Structure 1
Amino acid sequence: MLSQKLLTDIGNLLDERYNMSTSELDVLASLHSAHDEKHTLTPTKLYERLFFSSGGMTKVLKRLEKKEFIKRLDNEEDKRSKLVQLTQKGREILEKSLVDVIAREEEIFAHVNRDERKNLSDLLFKALGEVEQ
């Protein structure tokens, strides 16, 4: 229930303020954290990182490209595919939206003190470890 509440609140915030979905934010963040200075990945790397289907990723990339948050580049290593690159506009909207997302998460957890947050985090990572096995 907590996870659903967070996703709904953050999704609403992103939609209202930035006309963006959480999936779009995830793609922008993944491109930003790419291991090259150009913030570029293949669509395959993106959907593997984010656990999207190929078709789902294509829809998200089309929306981001229309908003000029990403651009598609020729892939010199594989002529059959295109690379996805974060644009300056995409980087700016990512930074602005993450500030708001973090602020919203802080509001939601304002009544939980530091020790309780640490315990919650530890328990969630412990549970996640069991799920991944």
Structure 2
Amino acid sequence: MEQEMRIGILLKMINNIYERTFNNKISEINLTTAQCDLLGFLHENEGKEVNPIDIEKRFNLKRPTVTGLLKRLEEKGFIRVAPSIKDNRYKQIILTSKAQGYHQEMLAGLKEMENQLYQGISEEEKQELIGILNRMLKNMSL
């Protein structure tokens, strides 16, 4: 009899496969899944001032991780970091034209991945799963 896997292991396995597959899809633009997620967040908030603290909160990341992601994205020419217009003690993250140029390609890759992930799952099951995962995230964030 096959032993049931712990939820943490299942989530980790799904995430590992998802990231590996997505990284392969976007390898030609020299980005990782985490970098694409961050760029997507910046696109969603275009026109608003976004600083590293906003990114830490949105993705539940520690400051050194965010600093590393931003540094690599800046080195690759996808973002630039400038002093905040509101408060010089903070930095704002600004998308470059290079990031704008790859936005549709990243979205297409993400849509393809989501379609694969939800294959054979009804819309009702998808919504239920999203609700459960959001509650689990909230439980772990307490």
TM > 0.5: yes
Q: Is the 8 A contact 2:22 2:113 kept in 1?
A: no
Percentage identity across aligned positions?
23
Larger mean CA deviation between 60-69 and 89-98 belongs to: 89-98
Q: Does 1:28 align with 2:39?
A: yes
Find 1:87's aligned residue among 49, 71, 96: 96
Report how far residue 11 of structure 1 moved: 1.6
Q: Does 1:56 align with 2:85?
A: no
Q: TM-score, length-normalised on structure 1?
A: 0.77
Q: Does 1:71 align with 2:70?
A: no
**Structure 1: 4+ residue segments shifted above 3 A:** 121-133
Report how far residue 114 of structure 1 moved: 3.0
Gaps of 5+ in 2: 1-8
Report how far residue 50 of structure 1 moved: 1.8
Report how far residue 127 of structure 1 moved: 4.4
Distance 1:99 1:131, change over 3 A: same
Specify the alignment match of 1:110 in structure 2: 119
- SS state of the match for residue 121, structure 2? coil
Larger mean CA deviation between 1-10 and 103-112 belongs to: 1-10
Specify the alignment match of 2:14 in structure 1: 6
In structure 2, how many angstroms separate the alpha carbons of the residues matched to 1:93 and 1:65? Answer: 15
- SS state of the match for residue 71, structure 1? strand
Report how far residue 126 of structure 1 moved: 4.8
Q: TM-score, length-normalised on structure 2?
A: 0.73
Q: Is the 8 A contact 1:74 1:81 kept in 2?
A: yes
In structure 2, how many angstroms separate the alpha carbons of the residues matched to 1:5 and 1:11? Answer: 10
In structure 1, how many angstroms separate the alpha carbons of the residues matched to 2:61 and 2:137? Answer: 19
Report how far residue 119 of structure 1 moved: 3.5
CA RMSD of aligned residues (A): 2.5
Distance 1:12 1:93, change over 3 A: farther
Q: Is the 8 A contact 2:80 2:95 kept in 1?
A: yes
| Partner AA of 2:33 in structure 1 | T
Find 1:42's aligned residue among 37, 43, 51: 51
Q: Is the 8 A contact 2:35 2:69 kept in 1?
A: yes
Distance 1:30 1:97, change over 3 A: same
